[in-house]
């Protein structure tokens, strides 16, 4: 019967300890690379969160945050009693609801179609054209859209010459058209760049699955439906959760650029409302209260969407 001597046992123990030390050193070097990012995140994201307290204080720009008087939930109550609340909330939910129905699937559909293109040069051309609007600022892109939708713009003039409208129309002055206009330009602006993530996910699919499907006699649509979409479901679910959690966030830059006094009843959203209240009227505490409430609702929606996804699809963010 073989026995291990005490010397061998000590040597093996020392070797194991040496290996553990090497692994610890390697991990420390790798993990230390993230510390600068964590420090910056803490400084610029977490420390400024103290400013949230102005939502519960009567703050003005001439006083300090610590010196402002506590007023509790005063500004939250003012927001819920604001006559503009329901109109602003309706517009926000409508615009984001349309984005969820039309803008969200658009990049997925584009990625699926791009995956089916066999002509590499044509595929690159389509990708370049679809990506281009993303790299234009909203100021430039919004200006182009406004010019096209003016009574003398290309769209109104074309429709008039085709006899589809009786006279040139200023579409930006018609509030009832705003939802549709915003949805269309949002798709144009985001569809190309948004498809990059799905194209990358499709690229990672095992090609043997497609080869087996061809042997079984599957066509392009069947391969797309039974292989491609199920394989990128995880990516789709994660992006859908993010989309649902941001249903109260429209951003203010693009809305402000397309907004005017004639379509204000349809274009005023929570983001533009907070911007105008906080900056134009200097009601910082009120704007902070609305922003905080919106953030809390976004987190609640994310948790709800994530739990629902895990129950139905066994997939989620965490």
Read off the tokens for 296.
Answer: 């809390």
Least confident of 4-8, 131-135, 164-168, 191-195: 4-8
**For residue 166, is pLDDT > 80?**
yes
pLDDT at position 56 over 70? yes
pLDDT at residue number 17:
64
Higher-pLDDT residue of 76, 317: 76
Cα-Cα-Cα-Cα dihedral of 283, 284, 289, 291, to 10°?
A: 110
Is there a domain that residue 267 lies in?
A: yes
Residue 271 has pLDDT above 80, yes or no: yes
**Cβ distance 269 to 95 under 8 Å?**
yes
**In-domain check, residue 264:** yes
pLDDT value at residue 23:
57
Number of domains forming the structure of the chain: 1
Tell which wins on pLDDT, 223 or 30: 223
Q: CA neighbours within 13 Å on the CB side: how many for 263?
A: 23
In this predicted structure, the answer to whether residue 216 has a pLDDT above a threshold of 60 is yes
Instruction: Report the number of secondary-structure helices (H) and strands (E) in the chain.
Output: 17, 2
Residue 181 in domain:
yes
The answer to whether 247 touches 100, Cβ cutoff 8 Å, is yes
Is residue 33 assigned to a domain?
Answer: no
Please give the pLDDT value at position 191: 93
At residue 69, does pLDDT exceed 50? yes
Per the model's pLDDT, the better-predicted residue between 12 and 63 turns out to be 63
Confidence (pLDDT) at 22? 59
Give the CATH number of the domain where residue 266 resides.
1.10.3720.10
246-265 pLDDT, tens digit per residue, is 888 888 888 998 998 899 99
Q: Give a yes or no: residue 205 inside a domain.
A: yes
Tell me, yes or no, whether 2 lies in a domain. Answer: no
Asked if residue 122 has pLDDT above 80, the reply is: yes
pLDDT value of position 179: 94
Cβ-contact 284, 278 below 8 angstroms: yes
Q: What is the mean pLDDT of the chain?
A: 87
pTM: 0.82
**At 69, phi and psi to the nearest 5?**
-80, 135
Residue 102 has pLDDT above 80, yes or no: yes
**Is residue 196 domain-resident?**
yes
- CA-based angle 111:113:118, to the nearest 5? 115
> Per-residue confidence at 118, pLDDT binned at 50, 70, 90?
confident
Q: Which two tokens stand for residue 14?
A: 């020392």
pLDDT at 3 over 60: no
Range of the domain at 199: 73-313
Find the range with the poorest average confidence among 30-34, 123-127, 158-162. Answer: 30-34
| Residues 96/179, Cβ–Cβ less than 8 Å | no
pLDDT(91) > 90: yes
Least confident of 12-21, 115-124, 251-260: 12-21
Is 92 a domain residue?
A: yes
Tell whether the model's pLDDT for residue 62 goes beyond 60. yes
What pLDDT shows up at residue 9?
67
What's the pLDDT score for residue 60?
83
Give the pLDDT band of residue 1 (cuts 50, 70, 90). Answer: very low
Q: Which of 244, 293, 303, 240 is nearest to 271 (CA)?
A: 293
């Amino acid at each position: 019967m073989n026995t291990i001597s005490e010397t061998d046992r000590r040597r093996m123990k020392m070797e194991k300890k040496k290996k553990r030390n090497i692994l610890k050193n390697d991990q420390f070097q790798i993990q230390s690379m993230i510390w600068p990012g964590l420090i910056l995140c803490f400084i610029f994201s977490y420390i400024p969160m103290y400013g949230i307290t102005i939502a519960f204080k009567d703050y003005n720009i001439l006083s300090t945050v610590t010196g402002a008087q506590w007023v509790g939930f005063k500004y939250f109550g003012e927001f819920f009693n604001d006559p503009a609340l329901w109109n602003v909330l309706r517009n926000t939910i409508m615009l984001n609801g349309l984005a969820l129905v039309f803008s969200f699937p658009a990049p997925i559909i584009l990625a699926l179609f791009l995956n089916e293109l066999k002509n590499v040069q044509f595929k690159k051309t389509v990708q370049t054209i679809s990506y281009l609007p993303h790299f234009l600022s909203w100021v430039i892109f919004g200006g182009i859209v406004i010019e096209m939708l003016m009574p003398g713009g290309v769209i109104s003039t074309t429709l008039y010459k085709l006899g589809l409208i009786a006279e040139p129309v200023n579409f930006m002055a018609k509030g009832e058209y705003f939802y549709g206009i915003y949805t269309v330009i949002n798709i144009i602006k985001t569809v190309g760049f948004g498809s990059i993530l799905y194209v990358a996910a499709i690229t990672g699919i095992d090609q043997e699955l497609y080869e087996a499907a061809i042997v079984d006699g599957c066509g392009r649509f069947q391969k797309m439906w039974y292989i491609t979409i199920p394989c990128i479901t995880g990516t789709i679910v994660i992006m859908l959760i993010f989309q649902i959690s941001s249903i109260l966030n429209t951003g203010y830059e693009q809305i402000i650029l397309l907004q005017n006094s004639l379509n204000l009843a349809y274009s005023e959203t929570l983001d533009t409302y907070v911007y105008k209240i906080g900056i134009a009227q200097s009601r910082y505490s009120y704007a902070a209260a609305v922003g905080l409430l919106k953030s809390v609702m976004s987190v609640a929606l994310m948790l709800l969407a994530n739990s629902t996804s895990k129950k139905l699809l066994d997939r989620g963010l965490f």
